[in-house]
Amino acid sequence: MKNSVDNTAYELIVAIACHGLGSKILKCSRELGITGGTMLIGYTHSKNKVLRMLSLDNCENDILLMVTQQNLVEQVVDKIDQKFGFNKTSKGALFSLDVSTFIDHNIHTKNLKNEGKSDVMMNAVFVVVERGNAELVVAASEKVGAQGATIINARGSGIHETARVFAMAIEPEKEIVLVIVKDDITQNVIDAINDKLKIDEPGNGILFTMPINQARGFILNDK
């Protein structure tokens, strides 16, 4: 008999949408049981025609991060998709990541590969680099087949503040790059980024990957 979903497991719901829509998505999510979320501002960079049609290319985006129990994720994602039409009207990207291991542990590894995850269709590649190097990450990724990336500035509201991604404190001088790629080219993207920025060398950045679970929007339609 198949075990039910563990209520103590957590996932991170990520919504990337045009600026101004994030607050509406957060309000809807709270009505569905999400206790809160973190709103970031970033921009999507891509030469992909699909992203241009979505009006998500080279424009300011809301990036909403919401951690919740795993048993709520599918219901919340479905309701948000139904209300805001991520698939039908292509308003952005909506997906979830299993972050249970990040809730209680600090990240010490630079690269977490999806070993034994051959059935995973899409992966999120996170790269933290010095400010000004994000475009190099995007260029290296696109060269081996990635369709684009979302760049997030780590600066907080004060000069000494840091942003936090999972268990990591990100200094204001850093940029976070999120690249969504198909499973079969994930390692190529990792290798290309490492070759370009030498991520394996101390002080050059942090790179890790996570498999995507629930997904809506241009991620599923991207070819």
> DSSP string of 84-131?
H-TTTS--EEEEEEE-HHHHHS----S----TT-TT--EEEEEEEEET
**Partners of 124 in the β-ladder:** 180, 210
Q: With 50 as the cut, is the pLDDT of residue 113 above it?
A: no
User: Which amino acid, one-letter code, is at 104?
Assistant: D
**Of the candidates 111, 106, 74, which has an alpha carbon nearest to the alpha carbon of residue 193?**
111
Q: Using an 8 Å Cβ cutoff, are 33 and 68 in contact?
A: yes
Threshold 0.85, pTM exceeds: no
pLDDT of the residue at 108: 35
Domain coordinates of the chain in residue numbers?
A: 10-221
In sequence order, what are the beta bridge partners of 164?
169
- Give the CATH number of domain 10-221: 3.30.70.120
pLDDT tens for 144-197 read: 999 888 888 755 444 444 555 555 555 557 788 999 888 899 999 999 999 999
Q: Is 154 helix (H, G, I), strand (E, B) or coil?
A: coil
More confident residue, 111 or 145: 145
Kindly give the interhelix angle for 22-31 and 70-84, rounded to the nearest 10 degrees.
130
Question: How far is the C-alpha of 65 from the C-alpha of 112, rounded, in Å?
Answer: 20
Residue 11 makes CB contacts below 8 A (sequence gap 6+) with: 67, 68, 69, 70, 73, 96, 97, 98, 99, 100, 213, 214
